[in-house]
A = this chain, B = another copy of it.
């Protein structure tokens, strides 16, 4: 797998440092949200603005996008072309996919504009488009040449986004364990400066996992889905932001790991009592509690169509033994639903 250079910078990098012939692809909302970006973007003669979101990733819209992009770089030498992609998850998935197939692969620089992209999706080379209603059905493994984390761009986000990004940071801290988790556990506030402080260590931890299984052949990379199986259900069914949903999914996985006897009670108590864990009891959890059980049928249907299912009725679920030690086990859809009901009832008792 190609190596990505990681750059952590207070300001936008000089375009000349990013490649010879540059084509800027960016989330058009950034022109409003970040004056620094607006200023910087003016130095790119070739640029293509997109609207972030799942529509951008719809394969039905792809011929229109790629037609415009091919025309834009008609006069440019293929050999020296680099796409500079500035945006969050959907823009990165789209731009990365374009870079991987345009002229059979051109240069790629990611500049993530959201915490989720900076912590997770811009790293590891996964690109994707959606086919019909099914997400990420096509894509490539195509790591960026460079990924530039720009502090001023990331801190231009509203503070509410920091809470969403926190889920991905917590996930990787649980996977990595060691000092990353020990330090994070003591944090009392979730904020943008706090996320920036842990960004480099969090990203390094993700690369440690990806390196062992760059193209998801051994199954090891699958542990990065910790908290995501149930998180995705909330995201789709309750229209919650990805980060909030992952927060809930992590909480669910932690409780199930203990209930299943994979995590000791003392370990479980230790995590639950850490200052940072107050953020686990997130809006997602309250949201779920307010729902009727008829939702569970919908959950069940979605779990079965999830791409992570291995056989008809089972899926690979990631449990946590302790920070730094994950276990993947095959579970049935019924087991997931049963545990959801158990947690729902236990939570109602606690109220």
Contacts and interface: CB of A to CB of B under 8 A. Distances in A.
Contacts of A311: 77
A311 B71 CA distance: 17
Interface stretch (A129-137, A159-167, A323-331): A129-137
A58 to B, nearest CB: 8
Contacts of A310: 77, 79
A344 to B, nearest CB: 31
A184 B63 CA distance: 45
A177 interface: no
B138 A126 contact: no
A141 B100 CA distance: 10
A183 interface: no
A62 interface: yes
A222 to B, nearest CB: 11
A103 B138 contact: yes
Interface in A101-145: 101-105, 126, 128, 131-132, 134, 137-141
A60 B59 CA distance: 10
A213 interface: no
Q: DSSP majority for the A interface?
A: mixed
A307 interface: yes
Contacts of A104: 126, 128, 138-141, 215-216
Interface of A: 59-60, 62-63, 66-67, 70-71, 77-79, 100-105, 126, 128, 131-132, 134, 137-141, 215-216, 307, 310-311
Given A70-B132, A104-B128, A104-B140, 5 more contacts: A59-B63, A67-B132, A71-B132, A78-B307, A140-B140
21 contacts: A59-B63, A59-B66, A60-B63, A62-B63, A63-B63, A66-B131, A70-B134, A70-B137, A71-B132, A100-B140, A101-B139, A102-B137, A102-B138, A103-B138, A104-B126, A104-B128, A104-B138, A104-B141, A104-B215, A105-B141, A105-B215
